[in-house]
Amino acid sequence: MAGFVDEAQLHAKAGDGGAGAVSFRREAHVARGGPDGGDGGRGGDVWLVADANQASLLGFRDHPFRRAGNGTHGSGKRRHGQRGADLVVPVPVGTVVRDRAGSPLCDLSREGDRWLAAEGGAGGRGNARFLSNTRRAPGFAEQGERGEERWLDMELKLVADVALVGYPNAGKSTLIATVSAAKPKIAPYPFTTLEPHLGVVRLGRDGDEVEVVLADVPGLVEGAAEGRGLGHRFLRHVERARVLVVLCDLASAEGVAPAEQERVLLGELGRYRPELLERPRLVVGSKLDAADPAALPAAPRLRISAVTGEGVADLLWQVADLVVAARREAADHAGVPGGAVVVHRPAVEGLSVERAGPGAWVLAGRAAERAVNLSDLTDEGALAEAVRRLRRLGVDRALSRAGAHDGDEVTVGPVSFLWYRDEALSPTEAEGRDGRAARPAARRRKRSAP
């Protein structure tokens, strides 16, 4: 079984809200106690949280389903239902979340960043909430709202200070194994490394240490930016690196000159993400112990041998200086204070009107859909309450601005009604979207001329 997975799917299901209760106070010597139905509890949310203890998306490969708890129903004596338990899903730092169409939704690039993946359904209000001077004994309550449910694609982009970039078998794994506790597979053939590895290097004395995270990225070949050699999967792990170390093999088995290796590698990085060429970088000649002396004059000035250790200390100090400078610059331009946790929430949806055809309109927006979905529209009182909520949301004005005319059909969720602009609403029969059973809806009737 592979130990590193950088692509996975998530099925997030938030908890459903509990239903409100229809109840009336019953007590000795109290003839008309009035409504006392409690509200239903809200469903739990599903949160994704960036956790440094998570190394990959392996846990989602075979078990992508995550579900929060449901809210409980309300009951009499104004007892409200319990809220459903939220579900916190830890993911690796650097996880990018996309919808099924590929559009990015969130980038959890810092430890502790949170994103609301699925919002729990609202709990229904009990009949005690609908008591008014004109409605003394409401016999209806709201149903609980269903929690959000959706599939998401997750992609991991490693977060490291330094990315080691080079041809296959250029000595990247040997270098990271030499300077850190990482244990990548090392063998004398290309594409030994098929998954990224992270290593931590500490330089300096106690109290003045610099900690640098190195990423051993699998080897790149010409055409990697177009996907050759799994280039897309490898290159994305370079995107977040502050500093690039380009390793040029001084003892290439294919006889490719170091200058040609540098040209190809930088060209692939530029084609994949042009901004990568603006990152601080070091060009280093590797395998100095096995290099042909005749090729050294054309080799990079900085040369190392990870086997003998020659030049490695100098390389690490230069890398540390570049990392410290890059961190300082990033802190100066950061949008949030250092150490602050970013909480991502979906933007609040407003009310929108879309034309569905000649004389037909669709009202979109969670608030409008809630007005009808939470109500038991078979009850006259609940239907009147749904109509009132729609009017308070500004449905009349939105339809008028969109160009709706008297008698046009308007659909909200599963309910349709005929709209007239100059009369109060009264319940009538209308078909749902599926065209089957008749459902109560709202219709405006014109006043007859005197």
pLDDT in tens, 371-382: 888 887 788 888
Question: Letter for the amino acid at 232?
Answer: H
The torsion angles phi and psi of 426, rounded to 5 degrees, stand at: -140, 145
Q: Which CATH number is 128's domain given?
A: 2.70.210.12
* Residue that finishes a domain, picked among 111, 140, 155: 155
For residue 430, what are the β-bridge partners? 439
Residue 428 pLDDT greater than 50, yes or no: no
List, in sequence order, the alpha helices (H) in 243-350.
258-272, 312-333
Residue 370 placed within a domain? yes
Sheet containing strand 114-118, strands side by side: 87-92, 46-51, 114-118, 343-344
Residue with tokens 């799917």: 9
Q: Which residue has the higher pLDDT, 340 or 118?
A: 118
Which of 27, 51, 316 minimizes the C-alpha distance to 162?
Answer: 316
Q: Is the domain of 119 the same as that of 225?
A: no
Q: Is the domain of 191 the same as that of 148?
A: no
Q: Is the domain of 28 the same as that of 173?
A: no
Q: Is the domain of 98 the same as that of 219?
A: no
Over range 341-365, report the average pLDDT. Answer: 80
Q: Kindly state the DSSP code that residue 290 receives in the 8-state scheme.
A: G
The residue range of the domain holding 102 is 1-155
Of the pLDDT bands very low, low, confident and very high (cuts 50, 70, 90), residue 349 is low
Of the pLDDT bands very low, low, confident and very high (cuts 50, 70, 90), residue 3 is low
Q: Which CATH number is 319's domain given?
A: 3.40.50.300
Q: Is the domain of 370 the same as that of 391?
A: yes
260 Cβ contact list (under 8 Å, min separation 6):
none
Q: Is the domain of 220 the same as that of 97?
A: no
State the number of CA atoms in the 13 A half-sphere of 119 facing the CB: 11
Average pLDDT, the chain: 81
pTM of the model: 0.73
Tally of domains in the chain = 3
CB 410 within 8 A of CB 397: no
pLDDT for 67-88, tens place per residue?
999 999 999 999 999 999 999 9
Q: Which residue has the higher pLDDT, 104 or 226?
A: 104
Residue 340 placed within a domain? no
What's the confidence (pLDDT) of residue 334?
A: 55
Of the pLDDT bands very low, low, confident and very high (cuts 50, 70, 90), residue 414 is confident
238 Cβ contact list (under 8 Å, min separation 6):
163, 165, 215, 217, 244, 269, 276
d(CA 205, CA 201): 13
- Let me know if 403 is exposed, middle or buried by CB neighbors in 10 A (0-12, 13-18, 19+): exposed
Residue 50 placed within a domain? yes
Residue 128 placed within a domain? yes
Of the pLDDT bands very low, low, confident and very high (cuts 50, 70, 90), residue 17 is very high
> How many C-beta atoms surround the C-beta of residue 438 within 10 A?
11
* Residue that finishes a domain, picked among 103, 130, 155: 155
Which of 96, 72, 88, 84 minimizes the C-alpha distance to 18?
Answer: 72
The dihedral region occupied by 365, where left means phi > 0, alpha psi between -120 and 50, and beta the remainder, is: left
Of the pLDDT bands very low, low, confident and very high (cuts 50, 70, 90), residue 433 is very low
d(CA 345, CA 65): 21
Q: Is the domain of 365 the same as that of 390?
A: yes
pLDDT for 137-193, tens place per residue?
899 999 999 999 999 999 988 888 898 988 888 888 888 888 887 665 544 434 444
Over range 91-116, report the average pLDDT. Answer: 91
What's the confidence (pLDDT) of residue 422?
A: 55
Residue 212 pLDDT greater than 70, yes or no: yes
Q: Is the domain of 97 the same as that of 146?
A: yes
- Collapsing DSSP to helix, strand or coil, 13 comes out as strand
CB 35 within 8 A of CB 24: yes
> How many C-beta atoms surround the C-beta of residue 94 within 10 A?
23
Q: Which CATH number is 436's domain given?
A: 3.30.300.350
Residue 319 placed within a domain? yes
What's the confidence (pLDDT) of residue 116?
A: 95
Of the pLDDT bands very low, low, confident and very high (cuts 50, 70, 90), residue 117 is very high
What's the confidence (pLDDT) of residue 194?
A: 52
Q: Is the domain of 302 the same as that of 252?
A: yes
Residue 345 placed within a domain? no
Q: Is the domain of 289 the same as that of 420?
A: no
Q: What is the dihedral of CA 377, 379, 385, 387, to 10 degrees?
A: 50
d(CA 254, CA 167): 11
Of all helices (H) and strands (E), which one includes residue 81? none
Q: Is the domain of 216 the same as that of 307?
A: yes
Residue 344 placed within a domain? no
Residue 324 pLDDT greater than 50, yes or no: yes
d(CA 240, CA 244): 10
Q: 104-108 and 149-156 as β-strands: parallel, antiparallel, unpaired?
A: unpaired
Least confident of 156-170, 280-294, 303-317, 433-447: 433-447
Of the pLDDT bands very low, low, confident and very high (cuts 50, 70, 90), residue 272 is confident
Residue 339 placed within a domain? no
* Residue that finishes a domain, picked among 155, 173, 206: 155
Q: Is the domain of 294 the same as that of 201?
A: yes
Which of 220, 104, 218, 87 minimizes the C-alpha distance to 154?
Answer: 104
